[in-house]
Chains A and B, each alone.
Chain A
Amino acid sequence: MSDNSNFIIETSPQIKQSDSTKSVMWVVSLCLLPAGVWGVWIFGPRVITVILASVISAVAAEALMGYLAKRNTLMDGSAVLTGLLISYNMPPAIPLYIPVVASFFAIFVVKWTFGGLGGNFMNPALAGRVFVFFSWTGHMTRWTMPDALSGIDTVTTATPLGFLKSGLLDYTGTAVSPVSFLVETGYPHSTLDSGITAWFSNNLGLDFANGYVDMFLGNIPGSLGEVSVFLLLIGSIYLFARKIITWDIPVSYLLSFGILIWIFGGTRYTGGTYFSGDVVFHIFTGGIILGAVYMATDMVTSPLTGKGRIIFGIGLGFLTFLIRVYGSFPEGVSLAIILMNIFVPMINQYTKPKRFGIQIKRDTK
């Protein structure tokens, strides 16, 4: 038989398009970069070493496994993206061995024992993050105050959500929403925030509490790449426009999460009522934008069908709400995503589209 490997015949649809695994992974990594630069800007240059440690260890692990499996997978960029996402989920002051362990766990255990990219059923970056979270909970919950808020370097603090979670345990005050709680207990906000809030109030007649602008721009303590909702959304515009990310998962995730927070979020406060939860606060904090746009949409570990993706998104919204509002962890995004990853094969199986021309078997008895 002659060598005809150059003439690959495929079934329809025969549409040529330029997206490949490789280009997608690199493009997503690039779109993530602004948020990382912001992290360096507000938390200081140490953040660079955290990002480098995660990315380099992920790439090294990928290189070793690629060598053992005799497949060169380094250039597909998936290891870089995994390392980048792991570092974005780390507190700025994390000891460097923790992101390294997370990257190794992600690449060796979560990805390559299943045969590399495409075989894993769980998001490697998030499984790595959760693994180190439970192993070094103390380090993983020690947050740095951004320079703009503290004025001096490296003040350890809690994230707004963490502050809320521990503060509400023995709270007897009158605040019925997260932001009024933070204002009452003296949680800091930057001068930029007060300036913009005052501008909105004076010029547009829009009154909102101090703190929202900080949360939107990323002037809050948190994981180094998750804080800037603004820059993460900027990066995602290109991904949505190129349809590298489809709308269904982020929209169904944020929508179901928002509705649940709106209904039940207020009931956690003394004197709080139903239908009074602060949706904006919960969307701006705790890395839910990073999770919904960049991590839940991972092509390998999200469902294949449109209907399946919406079920997946709703499940994510419900679990994030459950863990964040009732659980013992303040954020809940990463746990929700890896929990729903477990359900993906089942969702795929039950949302399989019917092939054209196949009729439902009638009972012929």
Chain B
Amino acid sequence: MSYIGIIITFVFINNFILTQFLGLCPFIGVSKNVESAVGMGFAVTFVMALASISTWVIYNYILIPLDIEFLQTITFILVIAALVQFVELVIQKISPALYKALGIFLPLITTNCAVLGIALINVRNDFNAIESFIAGIAAGFGFLLAILLMSTIRVKLDSEWVPKPFRGIPIAFITGGLMALAFMAFDNALLNNLLG
């Protein structure tokens, strides 16, 4: 797959939120206002790119030579958790401003299944190092797009008379479902025809 193909795939066609339904907890939890949604989106993009490249290294230079690929899930979880904590410490030391901007989001992302998801998907697709990295960034931007749109809709819904049983989380899930319905417009045939 070409690099542009990977980007289109992970931003639109296999959007992590709206097609694969991965990483729904920050999608629902942090989409109440636009600023925090954008912050979360960029934090996830950053971590996904980092996780993609580091898990690729671990997988190809440790797991495969030792013939222990079956340990990939647990290894990836450990690597991602350790990496995020490490990055948090580094950012706190080097750039307090960025640390403050990312705030609580960075440690939260450790447990985001989208991050583990991109690592496993990279392995499944046999991506090389550059492809994994691009897939990580593209998947992060797909997440950013979804959470940004979600937050603008939820801000609008704040001023609407939403029936009491649906207020808050339920209407957010219904909104997400309708967005997923619209995103069914993007499918693999579209990608194949576009890139011929």
Interface residues of A (CB under 8 A from B): 69, 109-110, 112-116, 118-119, 121-122, 127, 130-131, 134, 319, 322-323, 325-329, 332, 335-336, 338-339, 341-343, 345-346, 348-349
* In the complex, chain A residues whose CB is within 8 Å of the CB of B160: 114-115, 118-119
Cross-chain contact B181 with A134 (CB below 8 angstroms): yes
Cβ-based interface call for B104 (8 A):
no
What CA separation (Å) do A332 and B189 show in the bound complex? 14
Q: Which of chain B's residues has its CB closest to A121's CB?
A: B153
Instruction: Please judge, given known A-B contacts A339-B182, A339-B185, whether A109 and B152 are in contact too, CB under 8 Å.
Output: no
Residue of B nearest to A130 (CB): B181
Q: Which residues of A contact B163 (CB under 8 A)?
A: 69, 112-113, 115
**Contact, CB under 8 Å: A119 / B157:** yes
Query: Could you tell me the distance between the alpha carbons of A329 and B174 in the complex, rounded to whole angstroms?
Result: 25
Q: Is B161 interfacial (CB-CB < 8 Å)?
A: yes
Which B residues lie within 8 Å of A115 (CB)?
160-163
B185 touching A329 by the CB < 8 A rule?
Answer: yes
The one of B152, B184, B187 that contacts A349, using a Cβ cutoff of 8 Å: B152
Task: Determine whether the beta carbon of B149 is less than 8 Å from that of A327.
Answer: no
The interface residues of chain B lying within 8 Å CB-to-CB of A349 are: 34, 152, 155
Q: Which of A112, A336, A342 has the most CB of B within 10 A?
A: A342
Is B181 in contact with A131, judged by CB distance below 8 angstroms?
A: yes
Q: A69-B163, A112-B163, A322-B190 are in contact. Are A121 and B156 (CB under 8 A)?
A: yes
B183 beta carbon closer than 8 Å to chain A: yes
Contact of B184 among A322, A325, A335 (CB under 8 A): A335
Check B178–A328 contact: CB distance below 8 A: no
Q: In this assembly, does B171 line the interface, its C-beta being within 8 Å of a C-beta of chain A?
A: yes
A328 in complex: contacting residue of B155, B157, B187, CB < 8 Å: B187
Indicate whether B179 reaches chain A with its CB closer than 8 angstroms: yes
Q: Are B174 and A327 in contact (CB under 8 A)?
A: no
Find out whether the CB atom of B185 lies under 8 angstroms from the CB atom of A319: yes
In the complex, what residue of chain B is closest to A116 when comparing beta carbons?
Answer: B161
Bound-state CA distance A291–B162 (Å) is 28
Query: Is the beta-carbon distance between A127 and B178 smaller than 8 angstroms?
Result: yes
Can you list 6 contacts pairing A with B, beta carbon distance less than 8 Å? A69-B163, A113-B170, A115-B162, A127-B178, A342-B179, A345-B155
- Other than the known A114-B162, A323-B190, A326-B194, what 15 A-B pairs have Cβ atoms closer than 8 Å? A69-B163, A113-B166, A114-B166, A119-B161, A119-B162, A127-B178, A130-B184, A326-B190, A327-B185, A335-B182, A338-B181, A345-B153, A348-B156, A349-B152, A349-B155
Chain B 7-47, CB within 8 Å of chain A: the 1/0 string?
00000000000000000000000000010000000000000
Q: For B54, list chain A residues within 8 Å (CB).
A: none
Cα A119 to Cα B160 with chains together (Å): 6
Chain B residues lying within 8 Å of A109, measured Cβ to Cβ, are: 174, 178
Instruction: Give the docked Cα–Cα distance between A112 and B155 (Å).
Output: 18
Residue pair B149, A346 in contact (C-beta under 8 Å): yes
Q: Does B49 contact A (CB under 8 A)?
A: no
Residues in B whose Cβ lies below 8 Å from that of A339? 182-183, 185
Residues of A contacting B185 in the complex (Cβ-Cβ under 8 angstroms) = 319, 323, 327, 329, 332, 335-336, 339
The answer to the question of B148 belonging to the interface, with a C-beta cut-off of 8 Å to chain A, is yes
A116 to B160 alpha-carbon distance, docked (Å):
10
* Complex Cα spacing A348 to B162, Å: 20
Report B-chain residues with C-beta under 8 Å of the C-beta of A322: 190
Q: In whole angstroms, how far apart are the Cα atoms of A121 and B178 in the complex?
A: 10
B75 / chain A contacts, CB cutoff of 8 Å: none
Whether B193 is near chain A, meaning CB under 8 Å from some CB there, is yes
Residues 141-167 (chain B) with a chain A CB within 8 angstroms: 148-149, 152-153, 155-157, 160-163, 166
**Which chain A residue lies CB-closest to B183?**
A339
Q: Is the CB of A121 within 8 A of B175?
A: yes
**Would A328 and B190 count as touching, CB distance under 8 A?**
yes
B148 and A346: CB pair below 8 A?
Answer: yes
Residues of A within 8 A of B148 (CB): 346
Determine how close the nearest CB of chain A comes to the CB of B127; give it in whole angstroms.
24
The smallest C-beta distance from B70 to any residue of chain A, in angstroms, reads 37
Closest 3 CB pairs of A and B: A328-B189, A335-B185, A345-B152
Residues of A within 8 A of B171 (CB): 113-114
Nearest CB of chain B from residue A114's CB, rounded to whole Å: 6
